[in-house]
Structure 1
Amino acid sequence: MATEHHPITPRRVSFDWRETPLHWIPDEPTATHVINVLHLLLPAGERWFVKVFKEALPLVRDPELLKDVKGFMGQEATHSVQHSYVLDHLAHQKLDTGPYTRQVDFLFDVLLGERPPFGLPVSEREWLRFRLSVIAAVEQFTAVLGDWVLRADALDAARPDPVMLDLLRWHGAEEVEHRSVAFDMYQHCGGDEPGRYARRVLGMAITAPILTYLWGRGAAYLIRHDPRLAKRLRYTLRHHKRAVDKGLLPTWGELGAAIPRYLRRSYHPSQEGSLSRAVAYLAASPAASRGRAPGGAVAS
């Protein structure tokens, strides 16, 4: 584990979606819905993170790591709930995400559930290690995205809905804050080398293309079913690139470069992003501030 240690603490947050428009980045439906894919994937995905970590808790022998893992689980559970509320808000605005999210549920609950799918002859311990490697790989991308959204000045200039921007930056800041936990958990529980490193490579080799596919398919789904667009717009790479050029989405280079970094044998996620920037935003976040009582205590 890295020498620097930062306590991982779940925060109570509160968002009011009543005034948030469907296109929360004005006149930018593609950027809006590419980012909205987060709400499609994260409720089920982060519930799954918590389930897998619960299975692995008995394997943790390091008290400091155990404390971090429990903090991570608390943060991820909160993320899942808050993004679920956004799905309710989209449904209220006549954008039904159910057909897509049911497929995401199938991915996490069945294909990546407690037992290997299709009767695959994989031991219980090996299946758990594989799923931990997938979580570590996913968290590499969430740390990169979290750091990006904290630095994305172009989002501010585009006059987005402030509640949605706060959700994204609060979540992104916590992803940077706990960027190392899933990796440390995998390294701790992933067995001996060289198998541990090989499984880490496998986890990324599976995660990167599946995330890319799910994201593109999710953006296409949202744009196709957006009642305000009435099928007048399709999701295309040209439209996506236009949003990237405006600074409203991260570049493919930023995301792609995260893969070879992760695959270095000497790599540790504490090298990703700026912890000081993340902590500063968490101290200023309107949603996190509403969850704190006077005197710094957490509101009940």
Structure 2
Amino acid sequence: MIVPRRVSFDWRRTPLHWIPDEPTATHVINVLHLLLPAGERWFVRVFKEALPLVTDPRLLKDVKGFMGQEATHSVQHSYVLDHLAAQELDTEAYTRQVDYLFERLLGERPPWGIPFPAGRWLLYRLAFVAAIEQFTAVLGDWILRAEALDRAGADATMLDLLRWHGAEEVEHRAVAFDLYQHCGGPEPLRYIRRVGTMAVTAPMLLWLWIRGATYLIGHDPQLAGRLRYTPLAHDRAVRKGLLPPWRGLAAAIPRYLRRSYHPSREGSLGMAVAYLASSPAARAAAGAVGRAALGKEG
């Protein structure tokens, strides 16, 4: 079952450069914290709009579990933004633009007064969520396997956040796609919409990521302008295993565009479930739930 885990993390001992001596890799991954609070709140809003369209009881249960997990992800990444601000790295100028993207351009009403027929804009937004979730599943699987981060001495709390989140992305990797397929109408329009939204999603995410990494490195108070984001520095971190390879991210696109595609083939569910059983934060959350249940019984 897909259920939210009410985790919490203590950021007091996490340094600004949580991968020692690797500011580029640190901040490229930190872009997640800039995008996810607003993005995952938006996922929840879009799915809430779609709930009345779901007629399959099993899918409805999965969608509600997905919404609970994404709401928790949004909150926990917001706390990381607070932690960055406490270390004098203010992200508000960038996150305001991310908020505009999700709240206005992808909001409940079509942007710029585009005259979509009733209900059609929701289908496009569901397709955008499914396209984004293709990348979150790939990234989730990568972070679970990224042993180079452990060897580099990456902060244990940040790794637990990223791997807990990544494991849940693998766990619910098919829900957004299944919801879109369920609500998206007849073929071939459903498939055409899936292709079109991926054609927008992939370059937009790349642009947002490069802009985010550039912003974080440029505003890092410890770097004081001595470093800037460059593709060369990014590629060095990829070769060290500290960032996901471009080839792996790019290969996710043609897989998604196959007519026979289903996200259940992405990542390792067994690895994800195993990590969720061992994650310090997830174990603490499960223990808190168990203690609360025992208290009610008593």
TM > 0.5 between the two? yes
Specify the alignment match of 2:191 in structure 1. 197
> Is residue 115–residue 124 contact of structure 1 (8 Å, CA) maintained in 2?
no
- Name the CA distance, whole Å, in 2 between partners of 1:178 and 1:299: 26
Q: How far apart are the structure 2 equivalents of 1:124 and 1:285?
A: 44
How far the C-alpha of 1:299 sits from its partner, in A, is: 4.9
Partner of 1:87: 81
The one-letter amino acid of 2:142's match is W
Alpha-carbon separation, structure 2, partners of 1:222 and 1:11? 29
Q: Considering only aligned residues, what root-mean-square deviation do their CA atoms show, in Å?
A: 1.0
Length, aligned pairs only:
293
Where structure 1 has 5 or more consecutive residues not aligned to the other structure, the ranges are 1-6
AA aligned opposite 1:11: R
Shift of 1:84: 0.1
Separation in structure 2 between the aligned mates of residue 298 and residue 113 of structure 1, nearest angstrom:
40
TM-score by length of 1: 0.96
Q: Which residue of 2 aligns with 1:115?
A: 109
Runs of 4+ in 1 over 6 A off after TM superposition: none
**Residue of structure 2 equivalent to 1:135:** 129
Does the 8 Å CA contact 1:291/1:299 hold for their aligned counterparts? no
In the alignment, structure 1 residue 48 sits paired with structure 2 residue 42: yes
- Partner SS state of residue 297, structure 1: helix
Q: Deviations over 1:252-300 (max 9, x none)?
A: 0000000000000000000000000000000000011111227x72758
Aligned-residue offset at 1:203: 1.1
TM-score where L is the length of structure 2:
0.97
Deviation track 1:222-247 (CA, whole Å, cap 9, x = no partner) reads: 00000000000000000000000000
Q: Equivalent residue for 1:297?
A: 290
Q: Residue 33 of structure 1: SS of its match in structure 2?
A: helix
Which of 23, 29, 33 pairs up with 2:23? 29
Match of 1:275 among 262, 269, 273: 269
C-alpha deviations, 1:205-238, integer Å up to 9, x for none? 0100000000000000000000000000000000
What is residue 226 of structure 1 aligned with on the other side?
A: 220
* Secondary structure, aligned partner of 1:123: coil
2:172 partner letter? H
Cα deviation per residue 1:145-164 (whole Å; 9 max; x = unaligned)?
A: 00000001101100011000
1:3 matched residue in structure 2: none
2:237 aligns with one of 243, 246, 258:
243
Q: Secondary structure at the match of 1:293?
A: helix
Check if 1:213 corresponds to 2:207: yes
